[in-house]
Amino acid sequence: MSYDEIRKEFDRLSEWYYANKTHIDAGHEGKFALLYESDVAGYFDTWDKAELYALRNKFAEGLFLVHKCDLSEKPVYLPYEVSA
């Protein structure tokens, strides 16, 4: 994957998470949600456990995200610029 492809996939997964955050986080406060291909692959007690699960299940071949479930969290969007 090129840098641009990774960035686009990261943005897509992040946008999907924040659009579905209330549903994803509900009942899982304090857990870590493992996001893969616009789905929740599981909830884990620690970030490390979520990452280890992803790596053992070959999620590293694609992009995955781990988010801590926190209903009080608000998204923060920072501008970035992709340069060649």
Q: What is the pTM of this model?
A: 0.78
Tens-digit pLDDT profile for residues 16-38: 988 999 999 999 999 999 998 88
Domain boundaries, the chain: 3-68
pLDDT for the residue numbered 82: 55
Selected residue with higher pLDDT from 6 and 31: 31
Give 16's strand partners. Answer: none
pLDDT for the residue numbered 63: 84
For the chain, the average pLDDT equals: 85
pLDDT for the residue numbered 5: 85
pLDDT for the residue numbered 1: 72
pLDDT for the residue numbered 42: 96
